[in-house]
Amino acid sequence: MGESRNRGAFPKRSRLAVLVKRAIRSRTYPVIAVVLLVFLVSSLGELFFEYGANQGFASIWDAVWWTLVTAFTVGYGDKVPLTSGGRIVAVLVMLFGIGLLAMITGRIASWLVAFKIKEGSGLADQKKIKKHFVICGWKNEMVSVLEDILRINPHFSDEDIVVVSTVEQAKMESLRSNPNLQNVRFVRGDYVDENVLLRANIKKSARTLVLADTSSQASDQEVDARTVMTVLTIKTLSRDIYTCAELIDSKFKRYLENVHCDEIILSREHNRILLANATAASGIAHIVQELLDVGEGRLITKDFPVRYVGDSFANLSRYFMEGEKGILIGLLENTGNIYERKREALHEAQKTPDISRLVANLQEVKELRGNLPVFNPGPDYQIKSYSRAILIQG
């Protein structure tokens, strides 16, 4: 027991010793020591001259109060020195107070300037921000990307966005010149590096978007490899972070699926599909553009009342048609944290006493996919828990 207590107490003493050493070695320590010494000497000097000759200086606390009020130029006038020696001390305290205020003001201004320079260059840590949106990477059309993100997520403001990139400071300053994006935060560094992500306070973020970075001269394969490594790092730091990632080549998709990336955007494949449909004169390109238009917001996912869990697709469709004039075209199943969904599904799968059925249940759990879209499943399809409605609204 004694050894255990000693082991537990030692780190506290060592940490205290480190803090004391840092305070002694810092520039602030001698300044504070000199200020306190001057206050003490001034108070004792004033008491020496005024004690007995001035009723306002009956104790050391009266002298200390007078010194503080005089040094900080407040000048209440409740205590006034009467002796010549006391007045000389008062003049010295006044001069000292003017210099002290100038020094404090200068220190504060210097700190603010240094902080602004550090923040502008992306070297400041974002440890105080929480529930924010972290964007890893850079796009040539970054201003439009961020404006669309804010339009789609009205509960976020520009100061809730943290951009992590190695892009030049001039580009970030140009982005901030947009009045809608002037408070966007910036962390300079390689977002593949765990320490850089921690500087963006990734663990406390609400969502993360990893872009296919176009700011470097890297090949498409290198860009996608960095995206996969970044998502892997993010999910290692915290599985609860909702993570979206953009890929150029679809062959990297399975790597992101293995680490349960919540959403995967295959930008090149989407473009290819639209181009192919356009050649058939089907009008699909116009339909998709209209549905996905950020301003109109026609294609959306939406929560619905819990009472519809276990109910039919037809009844849920009727609810949206009558109540919100929306057309239900499908369901997004297994939403939220996929690790929690798998844990709950595994618990349910193990309840059966039938071994063959148990094996089949475990296989279903293994193949469980997060954010699985199910389109037009039929009127009798049973609504599952953790689902969202896929709607087309007018």
* Res. 52 pLDDT band, cuts 50 70 90: confident
For position 323, what pLDDT does the model report?
83
For position 374, what pLDDT does the model report?
92
- Name residue 218's amino acid: A
Q: List the single range of 30-44, 99-113, 192-206 with lowest mean pLDDT.
A: 99-113
What does the alpha-carbon distance between residue 176 and residue 158 come to, in Å, rounded to a whole number? 10
Mean per-residue pLDDT, 158-165 = 92
pLDDT tens track for 303-341: 999 999 999 999 999 999 988 888 999 999 988 877 777
Q: 228 versus 66: which is more confidently predicted?
A: 228
∠ Cα 85 87 90 (to 5°): 115
- Name residue 189's amino acid: G
∠ Cα 99 105 110 (to 5°): 120
What's phi and psi for 168, nearest 5 deg?
A: -65, 150
For position 24, what pLDDT does the model report?
59
* Res. 381 pLDDT band, cuts 50 70 90: very high
For the entire predicted model, the pTM comes to 0.66
For position 370, what pLDDT does the model report?
83
- pLDDT > 70: what percent of the chain? 86
For position 39, what pLDDT does the model report?
79
Task: Find where tokens 């969202």 sit.
Answer: 388
What's phi and psi for 266, nearest 5 deg?
A: -100, 85
Q: Give the list of residues 6+ apart from residue 117 with CB closer than 8 angstroms, or none.
A: none
What does the alpha-carbon distance between residue 227 and residue 267 come to, in Å, rounded to a whole number? 13
For position 27, what pLDDT does the model report?
60
Contact call for residues 324 and 370 (beta carbons, < 8 A): no
What does the alpha-carbon distance between residue 394 and residue 391 come to, in Å, rounded to a whole number? 10
Torsion of CA 296, 299, 303, 308, to 10 degrees: 130
Within its chain, how far is the Cα of 240 from the centroid? 14
Report the mean per-residue pLDDT for the chain: 82
Domains along the chain? 15-120 (1.10.287.70), 133-271 (3.40.50.720), 295-393 (3.30.70)
Positive/negative CA dihedral, 380, 384, 387, 388: positive
| Residue 59 vs residues 36, 76, 80: alpha-carbon distances, Å | 18, 18, 14
State the DSSP H helix or E strand holding residue 264, giving kind and residue range, or none if neither. strand 263-266
233 C-beta neighbours (distance < 10 Å), count: 20
pLDDT tens track for 338-355: 777 777 777 777 777 777
What does the alpha-carbon distance between residue 345 and residue 353 come to, in Å, rounded to a whole number? 16
User: Is 50 exceeded by the pLDDT of residue 9?
Assistant: no
pLDDT tens track for 81-132: 888 887 888 888 888 877 777 777 777 776 666 666 656 556 677 888 899 9
Q: Which of 12, 82, 26 is nearest to 51 (CA)?
A: 82
Mean per-residue pLDDT, 195-200 = 92
User: Is 70 exceeded by the pLDDT of residue 29?
Assistant: no
Pairing relation of β-strands 299-302 and 388-393? antiparallel
